[in-house]
């Protein structure tokens, strides 16, 4: 590689790193409702109650009434945020964002180490890191109050140690890889899934290149299979079963168990091949990762001249596509799910660029493709996420202020018209009984009676009705009667109406 190309790659990395850090600070003090406030506040409210001394394993997400526990993922990220906020006396929102960004940059360190295990030169590793740093998906979601970057860090660490063990059969790599596999499976199994597939492919590739006798190496392969594959699968299954048992104790939570949400998580066979899925894949998912759909053709063109990198390119493409085809519905519905496997599409593109840079006659073509991809990603970020990130979403501010003024901290709020989003409970710092539209819309239903009876002597401090046009007026009238509230709202705006208890109650 010529010296000028080396300097240009270093300069590109410095620019990418500086720009990514600056963009992470955009909207740093804004609300958590800029994009997918439902999920961000669900994570944040867990950290809020962990910081206040709530239970760890059966952690509280107090939005669906009593019992308050509603565990999904293992709360490692939430607990880390709660601990950091308590120790350093920092605001919870900003602490959550900082921890998320921190795990993202630790993930980049793991990517660097992974590439070193594959004997990629330090200069070429900067290509991978630069394209991840400028990816719209990772610029935006790495600074949200979510578990995505934590899961990515442990999954990437797992990949590093799996490759290290394949290369030198180090017991330390096996041990550390097993720990990272377990933690990755606990934090988010769907993120680890793609890394397990790529780890298996690269493990087999390294073992094949070493030319080891399969019969003699069988015990080591079997042990690695148990630690790197069986162990995280078993742990994820055990945690899911435990979480389902806890959720089943809640009237509404019983509808959020893994068995009930099976089709929600995986989607249907027809969905995988539907026109809508293809549209989302090519016009949302790929642009979120690379800036635009068309830019994907550039590295695909480049790999034709870098065929010595076909295997890692294909392995990364398999890792990317397999996760999308497994958790199709989640990827279709939630743009942040691409964070889990999008790394592999960027890595596949990077293999194309590096494959060209490694050949003297194609170096400048590789450099041009590299810069084109960087510019496309930066442009894509400004087109897709910058405005969302910059604007401070505040449509619930007045309702939150009203609730905090009307309901005492120890009282709960009942909410219609917000599904079971944690936004109102989190911002108002009040426990809640959210009543989703998919539950019976009847105050006299057995489910509602059971949910209200489980509140015991906890007083309902307010009823919030949002999206009132979509809420049956008879339900509201009956709710004010059953809950002993004033029949007319104490506060009302275009978003929500808030009802308060009768004066003599």
Domain boundaries, the chain: 3-30+71-389, 397-499
* Distance (Å, whole) CA 327 – CA 304: 30
* Distance (Å, whole) CA 278 – CA 292: 15
**Whether the model pTM is above 0.85:** yes
Give the pLDDT of residue 3: 85
Per DSSP, the residues of 418-480 read STT-SHHHHHHT-EEEEE-TTS---TTSHHHHHHHHTTTT--EEEEEEESGGGS-HHHHHHHH
Please name which of 57, 59, 50 lies closest in space to residue 82, comparing C-alpha atoms.
50
Per-residue pLDDT of 13-49, as tens digits, reads 999 999 999 999 999 999 999 999 999 999 999 999 9
Per DSSP, the residues of 275-303 read HHHHHHIIIIIHHHHHSSSGGGHHHHHHH
Per-residue pLDDT of 427-464, as tens digits, reads 999 999 999 999 999 999 999 999 999 999 999 999 99
Q: How many CB atoms lie within 10 A of CB 465?
A: 23
Degrees to nearest 5, angle at CA 87 with 140 and 98: 10
With beta carbons less than 8 A apart as the criterion, state whether 154 and 187 touch: yes
Give the pLDDT of residue 472: 80
Per-residue pLDDT of 334-371, as tens digits, reads 999 999 999 999 999 999 999 999 998 999 999 999 99
Alpha helices in 211-337 (DSSP H): 214-225, 231-247, 262-266, 269-272, 275-280, 286-290, 297-303, 310-326, 328-333
Least confident of 168-172, 206-210, 491-495: 206-210
* C-alpha dihedral, 196 to 199 to 205 to 209, nearest 10°: -140
What's the residue count for the chain?
505
Report the sign of the C-alpha dihedral through residues 318, 138, 141, 380, in that order.
negative
What helix, strand, coil percent values describe the chain, rounded to 5? 70, 5, 25
Per-residue pLDDT of 220-235, as tens digits, reads 889 999 999 999 999 9
Per-residue pLDDT of 46-99, as tens digits, reads 999 999 999 999 999 999 999 999 999 999 999 999 999 999 999 999 999 999
Which residues lie closer than 8 Å to 457 by C-beta, 6 or more apart? none
Q: Find where tokens 């397999």 sit.
A: 322
Assign residue 31 a region: left if phi > 0, alpha if psi is -120 to 50, beta otherwise? beta
Q: Is 329 helix (H, G, I), strand (E, B) or coil?
A: helix
Per DSSP, the residues of 335-374 read GGGHHHHHHHHHHHHHHHHHHHHTSGGGHHHHHHHHHHHH
Position 470 pLDDT exceeds 80: no
Q: Model confidence at 207, in pLDDT bands (50, 70, 90)?
A: confident
């Amino acid at each position: 590689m010529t010296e000028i190309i080396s300097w240009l790659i270093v300069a590109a990395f410095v620019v990418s790193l500086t720009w990514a850090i600056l963009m992470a600070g955009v909207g740093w003090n804004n609300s958590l409702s800029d994009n997918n406030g439902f999920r961000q506040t669900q994570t944040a409210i867990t950290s809020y109650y962990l910081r206040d001394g709530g239970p760890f394993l059966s952690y509280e997400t107090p939005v669906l009434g009593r019992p308050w526990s509603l565990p999904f993922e293992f709360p490692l990220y939430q607990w880390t945020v709660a601990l950091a906020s308590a120790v350093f006396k920092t605001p919870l929102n900003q602490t959550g964002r900082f921890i998320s960004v921190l795990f993202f940059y630790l993930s980049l360190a793991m990517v660097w180490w992974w590439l070193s295990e594959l004997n990629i030169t330090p200069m070429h590793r900067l290509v991978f890191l630069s394209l991840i740093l400028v990816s719209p998906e990772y610029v935006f979601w790495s600074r949200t109050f979510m578990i995505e970057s934590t899961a990515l860090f442990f999954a990437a660490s797992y990949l590093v140690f799996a490759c290290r063990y394949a290369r030198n059969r180090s017991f330390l790599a096996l041990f550390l890889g097993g720990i990272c596999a377990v933690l990755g499976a606990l934090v988010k199994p769907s993120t680890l899934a793609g890394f397990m597939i790529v780890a298996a492919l690269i493990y087999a590739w390294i073992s094949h290149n070493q030319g080891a006798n399969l019969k003699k190496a069988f015990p080591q392969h079997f042990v690695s299979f148990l630690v790197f594959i069986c162990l995280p699968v078993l742990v994820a299954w055990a945690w899911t079963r435990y979480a389902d048992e806890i959720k089943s104790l809640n009237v509404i939570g019983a509808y959020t168990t893994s068995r009930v949400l099976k089709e929600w998580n995986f989607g249907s066979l027809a969905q995988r091949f539907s026109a809508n899925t293809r549209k989302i894949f090519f016009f949302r998912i790929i642009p979120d990762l690379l800036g635009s759909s068309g830019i994907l053709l550039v590295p695909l063109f480049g790999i034709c001249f870098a065929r010595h990198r076909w295997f890692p390119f294909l392995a990364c493409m398999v890792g990317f596509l397999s996760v999308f085809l497994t958790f199709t519905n989640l990827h279709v519905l939630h743009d942040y799910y691409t964070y889990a496997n999008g790394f592999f599409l960027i890595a596949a593109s990077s293999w194309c660029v590096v494959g060209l840079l490694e050949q003297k006659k194609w170096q400048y073509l590789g450099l041009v493709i590299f810069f084109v991809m960087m510019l496309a990603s930066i442009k894509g970020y400004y087109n897709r996420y910058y405005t969302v990130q910059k604007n401070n979403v505040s449509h619930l501010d007045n309702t939150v202020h009203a609730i905090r003024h009307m309901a005492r901290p120890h009282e709960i709020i009942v909410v219609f018209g917000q599904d079971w989003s944690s936004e109102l409970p989190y911002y108002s710092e009040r426990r809640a009984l959210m009543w989703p539209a998919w539950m019976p819309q009847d105050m006299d239903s057995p489910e509602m009676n059971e949910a209200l009876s489980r509140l015991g002597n906890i007083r309902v401090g307010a009823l919030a009705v949002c999206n009132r046009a979509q809420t049956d007026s008879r339900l509201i009238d009956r709710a004010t009667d059953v809950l002993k509230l004033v029949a007319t709202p104490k506060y009302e705006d275009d978003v929500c109406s808030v009802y308060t208890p009768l004066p003599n109650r």
